Amino acid sequence: MRLDLDGLKKDPPESIPAIERRQFLKMGLVVTGVFAGGTVLSLISNIQRVFASPEEFKEKYPYTPHYSMVIRQNRCIDCERCLEACRRTNHVPPYGYRTAILERTIPDAIGQKREFIPVLCMQCNNPPCVRACPTRASYKHRGNGIIMIDSKKCVGCKACMVACPYNARYFNEEKRAIDKCNFCFDTRLSKGERLTACAAACPTGARTFGDLSDPSSDVYRMVHQIERPVWVLRAEVGTRPNVFYMKA
Amino acid sequence: MADEIRTSKISAIGGLARSFNSALFSDIYSTLIGFLSGTRSFYIILSLGVLTVFVASISGLDAMRIGYRHAYNITREIPWGIIISTYIFFVVTSTGLCIVSSIGHVFGIKDFMPIVNRAVFLAVVTIFAGFSVIFFDIENPFRMAIYNALSPNLRSNLWWMGTLYGAYMFFMAIEFILLLLKNHRFATYAGLAGLISGVAAHSNLGAIFGMLHSREFWYGPYMPIYFIASAVMSGGAAIIFFTWIGYKVNNEKMDAPMERAIEVVSKLTAFMIAVILFFTAWKVVTGLVGSPPKREVIKAMLVGPYAANFWGFEIIIGMILPFAILLGTGFRNVNMSFLASVLMIIGIFFMRYDLVVEGQIVPVFHELGVNEYRGLLHYLPSLHEIMIITGGMGIVASAFLIGERVFNGHKSEGH
Q: Express each pLDDT in A53-94 by its tens digit.
A: 344 444 567 788 999 999 999 999 999 999 999 999 999 999
Q: Confidence class of residue B248 from pLDDT cuts 50, 70 and 90?
A: confident
Report the distance separating Cα B144 and Cα B188, nearest Å: 31
Give the pLDDT confidence score for residue B252 in this predicted structure: 86
- More confident of the two residues B56 and A229: B56
pLDDT, mean of residues A104-127? 93
Q: Which domain holds residue A41?
A: 15-125+179-246
Which helix (DSSP H) or strand (DSSP E) does residue B14 occupy?
A: helix B2-36
Q: Please tell me which of the candidates B67, B151, B369 has its beta carbon nearest to residue A104.
A: B369
Interface test with chain A among B164, B214, B371, by most A beta carbons within 10 Å: B214
pLDDT, mean of residues B136-145? 93
B305 alpha-carbon distance from chain centroid: 27
pLDDT, mean of residues B178-195? 92
A91 CA to chain B: closest CA distance, Å?
A: 18
Q: Which amino acid is residue A55, in one-letter code?
A: E
CB distance B214–A119 less than 8 Å?
Answer: no
- Of chain A, the percentage scoring pLDDT greater than 90 comes to 61
CA closest to A119 among chain B residues: B365
Position A45 in a domain: yes
Q: B290-299, B352-361, B389-398: which range is least confident on average? A: B290-299
CB distance A169–B76 less than 8 Å?
Answer: yes
Q: Confidence class of residue B1 from pLDDT cuts 50, 70 and 90?
A: very low
Interface test with chain B among A99, A158, A178, by most B beta carbons within 10 Å: A158
* Residue A151 pLDDT greater than 90, yes or no: yes
Report the distance separating Cα B245 and Cα B260, nearest Å: 17
Domain parsing of chain B, residue ranges? 1-37, 40-410
The pTM assigned to this predicted structure is: 0.85
CB distance A128–B214 less than 8 Å?
Answer: yes
Give the pLDDT confidence score for residue A40 in this predicted structure: 38
Indicate which CATH number applies to the domain containing A33: 3.30.70.20
B90 CA to chain A: closest CA distance, Å?
A: 18
Position A57 in a domain: yes
* Residues A71/A154, Cβ–Cβ less than 8 Å: no
Report the 10 Å Cβ neighbour count for B292: 10
The verdict on whether omega for the bond into residue A65 sits within 30 degrees of 0, i.e. cis, is yes
Give the pLDDT confidence score for residue B100 in this predicted structure: 95
Chain A partners of B369 at a C-beta cutoff of 8 Å? Answer: 104, 106
Task: Quote the DSSP letter at residue A207.
Answer: E
Q: Which residues pair with B211 in a beta bridge?
A: none
Q: What is the mean pLDDT of chain A?
A: 83
* Residue B183 pLDDT greater than 50, yes or no: yes
Which helix (DSSP H) or strand (DSSP E) does residue A209 occupy?
A: strand A207-211
Position A205 in a domain: yes
The CATH code of domain B40-410 reads 1.20.1630.10
B349 CA to chain A: closest CA distance, Å?
A: 21
Q: Express each pLDDT in B149-159 by its tens digit.
A: 999 999 999 99
- In terms of DSSP H, where are the helices of chain A? 18-36, 38-51, 57-60, 81-90, 128-132, 159-163, 197-201, 218-223
pLDDT, mean of residues A218-225? 88
Chain B partners of A135 at a C-beta cutoff of 8 Å? Answer: 143-144, 147-148, 151-153, 159
- The 3-class SS string of B366-390 reads HHHCCHHHCCCCCCCCCHHHHHHHH
A70, HSE (Cβ side, Cα atoms, 13 Å): 23
* Residues A183/A123, Cβ–Cβ less than 8 Å: yes
ipTM reported for the complex surpasses 0.90: no
> Quick one: CA dihedral B205, B396, B123, B229, positive or negative?
positive
Please state whether beta strands A67-72 and A243-246 pair in parallel, antiparallel, or not at all (unpaired).
parallel
Give the pLDDT confidence score for residue A91 in this predicted structure: 96
Q: Express each pLDDT in B364-380 by its tens digit.
A: 999 999 999 999 999 99
CB distance A134–B148 less than 8 Å?
Answer: yes
The count of domains in chain A is: 1
Report the distance separating Cα B358 and Cα B379, nearest Å: 10
Q: Express each pLDDT in A178-216 by its tens digit.
A: 999 999 999 999 999 999 999 999 999 999 999 988 889
CA closest to B208 among chain A residues: A132
Give the pLDDT confidence score for residue A34 in this predicted structure: 39
Give the pLDDT confidence score for residue B197 in this predicted structure: 97
pLDDT, mean of residues B299-315? 96
Of B394, B355, B388, give the one whose Cα is nearest residue B92: B355
